[in-house]
Amino acid sequence: MIRSATLTLQPTLAQITDNSRLRLFSGSANLPLSQEVARYLGMDLGPMVRKRFADGELYVQIQESIRGCDVYLIQPTCGPVNDHLMELLIMIDACRRASARQITAVIPYYGYARADRKTAGRESITAKLVANLITESGASRVLAMDLHSAQIQGYFDIPFDHVYGSPVLIDYLSSKQLTDLVVVSPDVGGVARARAFAKKLNDAPLAIIDKRRQAHNVAEVMNVIGDVSGKTAVLVDDMIDTAGTISEGARLLRQNGARQVYACATHAVFSDPAIERLSSGLFEEVIVTNTIPIPEHRRFKQLTTLSVANILGETIWRIHEDSSVSSMFR
């Protein structure tokens, strides 16, 4: 079951109906999320033809006039990353050639975000390359959620709105009325994220896991900085990929006396062998959002999926109305 977030401001159907310039379209990456966003805004997704030719090439055609309109294209660049990224670029180009007034790429999950700097010689900074591709294809603005590195916003030479999935995660955890909470960052790089999360959870104490990464998708956990003994530990990260880091962190927390361990992340990438690790009994619950669709065969009993559709819908409405986005998270 996917639960919805609750926000204080929601546009009425009459508001949307009166504003004939707003158009919403969805790529193929996460159609259910796009449909939820459309319902929040009280409108329908625009008609569009998507198909693949025999040689694998993608084809996109917008099926209504968007001349002079403000177009929002919802497409997370999750797996298969290259296909979904290329589809987004073609959608943007199609809207540009159809004389859209403004084109906003709504990217709930930004693929290639971890390739945000050079860590060795002769490497590509692919996050920057993707930013260039989106900009050059004709996007006027980008809306993304929980970037792996906030610096990626600076890779774009067009306006960029960065929003967060943490409100729905925090609301859900608060509703569970857990006691003796400690928020845990799975690595030093995630301390700022975990600290902000802890502050929203009634200033819960913070702990940090010190680790040494030996290779891509391989993490060696060393020790815990902070007191977790007898506490309910909440591991917070932006994404769960192979679940190596977060699972080793949970094991270490249990060894250090944590009574319960919960995992929270915005993006459920869930590459193999993530499901096996997450369902092994280390976690009371694994709480994620629906920025990336999770097929039924990859679900497990400890998994809870929360919807970020209202946050994205509210942000789209505020951008369209030239209202403040940052005030949503104060």
DSSP state, residue 292: S
Residues 6+ apart with CB under 8 A from 231: 180, 181, 182, 258, 259
Catalytic residues: 211
Residue 168 has pLDDT above 60, yes or no: yes
pLDDT, mean of residues 3-10: 52
Instruction: Report the SS3 class of residue 274.
Output: helix
pTM (2 d.p.): 0.91
Angle at 90 between CA 64 and CA 67, to 5 degrees: 30
pLDDT, mean of residues 125-137: 98
**pLDDT of the residue at 124:** 96
Distances (CA, A) of 328 to 10, 39, 149, 317, 318: 12, 19, 21, 12, 10
Nearest-angstrom CA–CA distance, 183 and 191: 10
**pLDDT of the residue at 216:** 66
pLDDT, mean of residues 251-277: 97
Structural domains present in the chain: 2-164+309-329 (3.40.50.2020), 166-307 (3.40.50.2020)
DSSP for 111-122 reads TTTT--S-SSTT
SS (H, E, C) 75-104: CCCCCCHHHHHHHHHHHHHHHHHCCCCEEE
pLDDT digits (tens, 9 = 90+) for 187-215: 888 999 999 999 999 999 999 998 766 66
Residue 15 has pLDDT above 50, yes or no: no
Distances (CA, A) of 258 to 29, 183, 238, 261, 269: 38, 11, 22, 7, 26
- In this structure, the number of other CB atoms found within 10 A of the CB of residue 160 comes to 17
Distances (CA, A) of 137 to 68, 87, 118: 18, 11, 25
Contacts 24+ apart (CB under 8 A), 44-53: 48/91, 50/87
Task: Give backbone dihedrals phi and psi of 223, rounded to 5 degrees, phi first.
Answer: -160, 170
- In this structure, the number of other CB atoms found within 10 A of the CB of residue 254 comes to 15
**pLDDT of the residue at 188:** 87
pLDDT digits (tens, 9 = 90+) for 64-99: 999 999 999 999 999 999 999 999 999 999 999 999
Pick the closest to residue 166 from 287, 247, 79 (CA basis).
287
Strands (DSSP E) found in the chain: 2-4, 22-26, 48-52, 58-62, 70-74, 102-107, 141-145, 160-163, 181-185, 206-215, 218-225, 232-240, 260-268, 285-289, 303-307
Nearest-angstrom CA–CA distance, 63 and 26: 13
Angle at 231 between CA 228 and CA 235, to 5 degrees: 70
pLDDT, mean of residues 147-153: 94
Pick the closest to residue 5 from 32, 29, 43, 40 (CA basis).
40
Residue 102 has pLDDT above 90, yes or no: yes
Q: Over the chain, what is the mean pLDDT? A: 92
Query: 96 and 103 in contact (C-beta within 8 Å)?
Result: yes
**pLDDT of the residue at 3:** 61
Residues 6+ apart with CB under 8 A from 217: 241, 242, 244, 271
**pLDDT of the residue at 87:** 98
Q: What whole-number percentage of the chain has pLDDT above 70? A: 91
Q: Enter the tokens of residue 278.
A: 């997450």
Residue 315 has pLDDT above 80, yes or no: yes
What is the residue type of 207? A
- The length of the chain is 330
Q: Is 135 exposed, middle or buried (0-12, 13-18, 19+ CB in 10 A)?
A: middle
